[in-house]
Amino acid sequence: MSPVCGLTRALLGILLLLQPVLGIPAADVLPRAAASVCNGWAEYCSRSYSSVTFVGSHDSAFVGDLPQQNQNLDVTAQLNMGIRFLQAQTHHSLFDDNVLELCHTSCLLEDAGTLKSFLGTVKAFLDANANEVVTLLLTNGDSVSITEFGSTFSSSGIDSYAFAPSSSPLSIGDWPTIGDLISSGKRLVVFLDYGADTSKVNYILDEFAYYFETPYDVTDSSFSGCSIDRPSGASASGRMYIVNHFLDVDILGVKVPDRDAAATTNAATGKGSIGAQAAVCEALYNRAPNVVLADFVDKGNVIEAQNELNGF
Protein backbone atom coordinates (compact mmCIF):
# COMPACT_ATOMS: atom_id res chain seq x y z
CA MET A 1 0.00 0.00 0.00
CA SER A 2 1.38 3.43 -0.90
CA PRO A 3 1.83 6.08 1.84
CA VAL A 4 -0.89 8.20 0.20
CA CYS A 5 -3.43 5.37 0.24
CA GLY A 6 -2.57 4.57 3.83
CA LEU A 7 -3.03 8.19 4.87
CA THR A 8 -6.36 8.39 3.02
CA ARG A 9 -7.68 5.30 4.75
CA ALA A 10 -6.54 6.62 8.11
CA LEU A 11 -8.31 9.93 7.57
CA LEU A 12 -11.52 8.15 6.49
CA GLY A 13 -11.36 6.01 9.58
CA ILE A 14 -11.00 9.05 11.82
CA LEU A 15 -13.98 10.74 10.13
CA LEU A 16 -16.15 7.67 10.66
CA LEU A 17 -15.22 7.56 14.32
CA LEU A 18 -15.94 11.25 14.77
CA GLN A 19 -19.16 11.26 12.70
CA PRO A 20 -21.56 11.16 15.70
CA VAL A 21 -19.57 13.84 17.53
CA LEU A 22 -19.13 16.24 14.64
CA GLY A 23 -22.62 15.74 13.24
CA ILE A 24 -21.29 14.61 9.86
CA PRO A 25 -24.21 13.28 7.78
CA ALA A 26 -24.34 9.59 7.02
CA ALA A 27 -22.94 8.45 3.69
CA ASP A 28 -26.39 7.75 2.24
CA VAL A 29 -27.38 11.41 2.48
CA LEU A 30 -24.07 13.07 1.66
CA PRO A 31 -24.06 15.15 -1.53
CA ARG A 32 -23.17 12.91 -4.46
CA ALA A 33 -21.77 13.27 -7.94
CA ALA A 34 -24.36 14.10 -10.58
CA ALA A 35 -26.47 11.08 -11.48
CA SER A 36 -26.70 9.97 -15.10
CA VAL A 37 -30.08 8.26 -14.58
CA CYS A 38 -32.75 9.72 -12.28
CA ASN A 39 -35.96 7.87 -11.38
CA GLY A 40 -35.13 5.47 -14.18
CA TRP A 41 -34.60 8.01 -16.98
CA ALA A 42 -31.66 10.20 -17.97
CA GLU A 43 -34.11 12.91 -19.07
CA TYR A 44 -35.41 13.43 -15.54
CA CYS A 45 -31.99 14.47 -14.29
CA SER A 46 -32.27 17.90 -15.92
CA ARG A 47 -36.02 18.29 -15.49
CA SER A 48 -37.39 20.32 -12.59
CA TYR A 49 -39.52 18.53 -10.03
CA SER A 50 -42.48 20.77 -10.93
CA SER A 51 -42.24 19.70 -14.59
CA VAL A 52 -42.55 15.97 -13.99
CA THR A 53 -45.79 13.96 -14.00
CA PHE A 54 -45.99 11.24 -11.35
CA VAL A 55 -48.64 8.53 -11.31
CA GLY A 56 -49.22 8.13 -7.60
CA SER A 57 -50.72 5.48 -5.37
CA HIS A 58 -53.93 6.67 -3.70
CA ASP A 59 -54.28 5.32 -0.15
CA SER A 60 -51.06 3.42 -0.77
CA ALA A 61 -51.00 1.57 2.56
CA PHE A 62 -54.51 0.10 2.40
CA VAL A 63 -53.71 -3.24 0.79
CA GLY A 64 -56.04 -6.20 0.44
CA ASP A 65 -59.31 -7.54 -0.94
CA LEU A 66 -61.79 -5.77 1.35
CA PRO A 67 -64.11 -3.07 -0.05
CA GLN A 68 -62.33 -0.24 1.81
CA GLN A 69 -58.88 -1.25 0.55
CA ASN A 70 -57.39 0.57 -2.42
CA GLN A 71 -54.29 -1.38 -3.45
CA ASN A 72 -53.32 -4.97 -4.24
CA LEU A 73 -49.56 -4.55 -3.82
CA ASP A 74 -47.77 -3.56 -0.62
CA VAL A 75 -45.80 -0.32 -0.52
CA THR A 76 -42.44 -1.96 -1.24
CA ALA A 77 -43.87 -3.67 -4.32
CA GLN A 78 -45.43 -0.39 -5.46
CA LEU A 79 -42.06 1.34 -5.21
CA ASN A 80 -40.34 -1.54 -6.99
CA MET A 81 -42.79 -1.31 -9.91
CA GLY A 82 -41.94 2.38 -10.36
CA ILE A 83 -44.43 4.32 -8.24
CA ARG A 84 -42.68 7.39 -6.83
CA PHE A 85 -45.62 9.26 -5.28
CA LEU A 86 -47.39 7.72 -2.27
CA GLN A 87 -50.51 9.15 -0.65
CA ALA A 88 -51.65 7.97 2.78
CA GLN A 89 -54.23 8.90 5.44
CA THR A 90 -53.14 9.42 9.05
CA HIS A 91 -55.07 9.37 12.33
CA HIS A 92 -54.26 9.01 16.00
CA SER A 93 -54.07 5.44 17.24
CA LEU A 94 -57.17 4.26 19.11
CA PHE A 95 -54.92 2.85 21.83
CA ASP A 96 -52.14 5.43 22.16
CA ASP A 97 -52.74 9.11 21.48
CA ASN A 98 -49.01 9.59 20.97
CA VAL A 99 -48.91 7.26 17.95
CA LEU A 100 -49.94 8.09 14.39
CA GLU A 101 -51.55 5.27 12.42
CA LEU A 102 -52.46 4.87 8.76
CA CYS A 103 -56.23 4.55 8.92
CA HIS A 104 -58.98 4.78 6.33
CA THR A 105 -61.36 7.46 7.67
CA SER A 106 -61.41 5.67 11.03
CA CYS A 107 -59.02 3.19 12.59
CA LEU A 108 -62.07 1.03 13.33
CA LEU A 109 -62.64 0.66 9.59
CA GLU A 110 -59.08 0.09 8.38
CA ASP A 111 -55.76 0.26 10.21
CA ALA A 112 -52.62 -0.38 8.14
CA GLY A 113 -50.16 0.10 10.99
CA THR A 114 -48.09 2.98 12.23
CA LEU A 115 -46.86 5.93 10.24
CA LYS A 116 -43.38 5.20 11.64
CA SER A 117 -43.43 1.70 10.11
CA PHE A 118 -44.63 3.09 6.77
CA LEU A 119 -41.83 5.65 6.78
CA GLY A 120 -39.35 2.89 7.61
CA THR A 121 -40.47 1.01 4.50
CA VAL A 122 -39.94 4.08 2.33
CA LYS A 123 -36.56 4.75 3.96
CA ALA A 124 -35.42 1.19 3.22
CA PHE A 125 -36.22 1.80 -0.46
CA LEU A 126 -34.34 5.11 -0.49
CA ASP A 127 -31.39 3.48 1.27
CA ALA A 128 -31.19 0.82 -1.41
CA ASN A 129 -31.86 3.05 -4.44
CA ALA A 130 -29.57 6.05 -4.52
CA ASN A 131 -30.88 7.57 -7.77
CA GLU A 132 -34.57 7.73 -6.83
CA VAL A 133 -36.73 10.59 -5.57
CA VAL A 134 -39.95 9.72 -3.71
CA THR A 135 -42.83 12.01 -2.71
CA LEU A 136 -45.22 11.50 0.20
CA LEU A 137 -48.60 13.19 0.50
CA LEU A 138 -50.13 12.66 3.92
CA THR A 139 -53.57 13.64 5.16
CA ASN A 140 -54.05 14.89 8.70
CA GLY A 141 -57.49 13.54 9.59
CA ASP A 142 -57.28 14.34 13.30
CA SER A 143 -55.68 17.80 13.02
CA VAL A 144 -52.54 16.52 14.71
CA SER A 145 -49.83 19.04 15.61
CA ILE A 146 -47.09 19.29 13.01
CA THR A 147 -44.52 18.60 15.73
CA GLU A 148 -45.99 15.09 16.16
CA PHE A 149 -45.39 14.44 12.49
CA GLY A 150 -41.88 15.83 12.84
CA SER A 151 -41.15 13.55 15.79
CA THR A 152 -42.38 10.50 13.87
CA PHE A 153 -40.26 11.35 10.84
CA SER A 154 -37.24 11.91 13.07
CA SER A 155 -37.69 8.66 15.00
CA SER A 156 -37.93 6.71 11.73
CA GLY A 157 -34.67 8.26 10.52
CA ILE A 158 -36.17 9.30 7.19
CA ASP A 159 -35.99 13.02 7.98
CA SER A 160 -32.34 13.03 6.85
CA TYR A 161 -33.58 12.49 3.29
CA ALA A 162 -36.27 15.19 3.39
CA PHE A 163 -36.04 18.20 1.09
CA ALA A 164 -36.52 21.60 2.76
CA PRO A 165 -36.98 24.46 0.27
CA SER A 166 -34.94 27.63 0.55
CA SER A 167 -38.18 29.61 0.86
CA SER A 168 -41.73 28.53 1.55
CA PRO A 169 -43.84 28.29 -0.45
CA LEU A 170 -41.32 27.74 -3.21
CA SER A 171 -42.34 29.22 -6.54
CA ILE A 172 -43.43 26.68 -9.13
CA GLY A 173 -40.54 27.79 -11.33
CA ASP A 174 -37.91 27.50 -8.61
CA TRP A 175 -38.04 23.79 -7.87
CA PRO A 176 -34.73 21.94 -8.22
CA THR A 177 -34.28 19.30 -10.87
CA ILE A 178 -34.67 15.62 -10.03
CA GLY A 179 -30.91 15.36 -10.55
CA ASP A 180 -30.28 18.18 -8.07
CA LEU A 181 -32.40 16.46 -5.43
CA ILE A 182 -30.45 13.25 -5.95
CA SER A 183 -27.01 14.88 -5.85
CA SER A 184 -27.95 16.83 -2.70
CA GLY A 185 -29.05 13.66 -0.91
CA LYS A 186 -32.48 15.21 -0.28
CA ARG A 187 -34.54 12.63 -2.16
CA LEU A 188 -37.79 12.74 -0.20
CA VAL A 189 -40.42 15.44 -0.81
CA VAL A 190 -43.20 15.59 1.79
CA PHE A 191 -46.59 17.31 1.71
CA LEU A 192 -49.35 17.46 4.34
CA ASP A 193 -52.90 18.51 3.49
CA TYR A 194 -53.68 20.43 6.69
CA GLY A 195 -51.61 21.67 9.60
CA ALA A 196 -48.21 22.11 7.97
CA ASP A 197 -46.01 24.82 9.51
CA THR A 198 -42.54 25.12 8.01
CA SER A 199 -41.45 27.41 10.84
CA LYS A 200 -41.65 24.31 13.07
CA VAL A 201 -40.91 21.44 10.65
CA ASN A 202 -39.26 22.91 7.58
CA TYR A 203 -39.50 19.85 5.30
CA ILE A 204 -43.22 19.05 5.69
CA LEU A 205 -44.85 21.30 3.11
CA ASP A 206 -48.40 22.65 2.90
CA GLU A 207 -50.06 20.71 0.09
CA PHE A 208 -52.47 23.43 -0.93
CA ALA A 209 -49.79 26.11 -1.06
CA TYR A 210 -48.26 24.01 -3.85
CA TYR A 211 -51.11 22.08 -5.49
CA PHE A 212 -54.74 22.23 -6.40
CA GLU A 213 -56.76 19.01 -6.68
CA THR A 214 -59.57 17.83 -8.92
CA PRO A 215 -62.71 16.23 -7.37
CA TYR A 216 -62.44 12.85 -5.68
CA ASP A 217 -65.00 10.07 -5.02
CA VAL A 218 -65.71 10.17 -8.75
CA THR A 219 -68.32 7.67 -10.00
CA ASP A 220 -68.31 8.83 -13.64
CA SER A 221 -66.17 6.23 -15.41
CA SER A 222 -65.52 8.60 -18.31
CA PHE A 223 -63.60 11.04 -16.05
CA SER A 224 -64.71 13.84 -18.36
CA GLY A 225 -63.96 16.71 -15.94
CA CYS A 226 -60.91 18.38 -14.45
CA SER A 227 -62.29 21.22 -12.36
CA ILE A 228 -60.59 22.62 -9.26
CA ASP A 229 -62.09 21.11 -6.12
CA ARG A 230 -59.55 22.01 -3.43
CA PRO A 231 -58.57 24.47 -2.18
CA SER A 232 -61.89 26.20 -2.64
CA GLY A 233 -61.71 29.17 -4.98
CA ALA A 234 -58.08 28.53 -5.87
CA SER A 235 -56.46 29.78 -9.03
CA ALA A 236 -54.56 27.30 -11.18
CA SER A 237 -51.86 29.88 -11.76
CA GLY A 238 -48.64 29.22 -9.89
CA ARG A 239 -49.72 25.83 -8.51
CA MET A 240 -48.90 22.29 -9.49
CA TYR A 241 -51.95 20.05 -9.68
CA ILE A 242 -53.18 16.62 -8.66
CA VAL A 243 -55.75 14.68 -10.69
CA ASN A 244 -57.78 12.25 -8.58
CA HIS A 245 -58.15 9.50 -11.16
CA PHE A 246 -59.58 6.71 -9.01
CA LEU A 247 -63.07 5.42 -9.65
CA ASP A 248 -65.62 4.68 -6.94
CA VAL A 249 -68.84 2.73 -7.12
CA ASP A 250 -71.85 3.67 -5.01
CA ILE A 251 -73.16 0.73 -3.00
CA LEU A 252 -76.27 1.61 -0.97
CA GLY A 253 -75.02 5.18 -0.54
CA VAL A 254 -71.45 4.20 0.36
CA LYS A 255 -68.70 4.88 -2.16
CA VAL A 256 -66.03 2.19 -2.38
CA PRO A 257 -63.14 1.69 -4.82
CA ASP A 258 -64.27 0.14 -8.11
CA ARG A 259 -61.85 -2.76 -8.22
CA ASP A 260 -63.52 -4.41 -11.22
CA ALA A 261 -63.00 -1.36 -13.44
CA ALA A 262 -59.36 -0.76 -12.45
CA ALA A 263 -57.78 -2.15 -15.62
CA THR A 264 -59.83 0.25 -17.76
CA THR A 265 -59.51 3.20 -15.37
CA ASN A 266 -55.72 2.76 -15.21
CA ALA A 267 -55.18 2.24 -18.93
CA ALA A 268 -52.74 4.56 -20.67
CA THR A 269 -55.21 5.39 -23.44
CA GLY A 270 -58.90 4.96 -24.26
CA LYS A 271 -62.16 6.24 -22.82
CA GLY A 272 -61.92 6.95 -19.10
CA SER A 273 -58.17 6.23 -19.05
CA ILE A 274 -55.36 8.11 -17.35
CA GLY A 275 -54.29 9.50 -20.70
CA ALA A 276 -57.80 10.62 -21.62
CA GLN A 277 -58.41 12.54 -18.41
CA ALA A 278 -54.91 14.03 -18.50
CA ALA A 279 -55.68 15.35 -21.99
CA VAL A 280 -58.85 17.05 -20.69
CA CYS A 281 -56.81 18.65 -17.90
CA GLU A 282 -54.00 19.74 -20.18
CA ALA A 283 -56.48 21.44 -22.47
CA LEU A 284 -57.84 23.42 -19.50
CA TYR A 285 -54.55 24.39 -17.88
CA ASN A 286 -52.08 24.28 -20.79
CA ARG A 287 -49.80 21.89 -18.93
CA ALA A 288 -49.80 18.25 -17.98
CA PRO A 289 -50.84 17.15 -14.49
CA ASN A 290 -48.07 16.93 -11.91
CA VAL A 291 -49.70 13.96 -10.19
CA VAL A 292 -52.35 11.44 -11.24
CA LEU A 293 -53.54 9.42 -8.23
CA ALA A 294 -54.76 5.89 -8.90
CA ASP A 295 -56.16 2.92 -7.01
CA PHE A 296 -54.92 -0.63 -7.76
CA VAL A 297 -51.75 0.56 -9.47
CA ASP A 298 -50.87 -2.99 -10.53
CA LYS A 299 -53.88 -2.98 -12.88
CA GLY A 300 -53.93 -1.32 -16.28
CA ASN A 301 -50.79 0.44 -17.52
CA VAL A 302 -49.96 3.17 -15.00
CA ILE A 303 -46.23 3.28 -15.68
CA GLU A 304 -46.83 3.38 -19.45
CA ALA A 305 -49.26 6.25 -18.86
CA GLN A 306 -46.69 8.06 -16.70
CA ASN A 307 -44.00 7.64 -19.36
CA GLU A 308 -46.27 8.96 -22.10
CA LEU A 309 -47.27 12.00 -20.02
CA ASN A 310 -43.57 12.75 -19.55
CA GLY A 311 -42.85 12.42 -23.27
CA PHE A 312 -41.11 9.03 -23.23
Contact between residue 141 and residue 90 where contact means Cβ atoms under 8 Å apart: yes
Q: How far apart are CA 86 and CA 34, in angstroms?
A: 25
Q: Spell out the SS3 assignment of the chain.
A: CCHHHHHHHHHHHHHHHHHHHHCCCCHHHCCCCCCCCECCEHHHHHCEHHHCCEEEECCCCCECCCCCCCECCCHHHHHHHCCCEEEEEEEECCCCCCCEEEECCCCCCCEEEEHHHHHHHHHHHHHHCCCCCEEEEEEECCCCCHHHHHHHHHHHCHHHHECCCCCCCCCHHHCCEHHHHHHHCCCEEEEECCCCCCCCCCCEEEHHHHEEECCCCECCCCCCCCCCCECCCCCCCCCEEEEECCEEEEECCEEEECHHHHHHHCCCCCCCCHHHHHHHHHHHHCCCCCEEEECCCCCCCHHHHHHHHCCC
Query: Catalytic one among 58, 91, 92, 245?
Result: 58
Active site residue 245: no
Query: Catalytic one among 91, 92, 104, 245?
Result: 104
Active site residue 104: yes
Catalytic residues: 58, 104
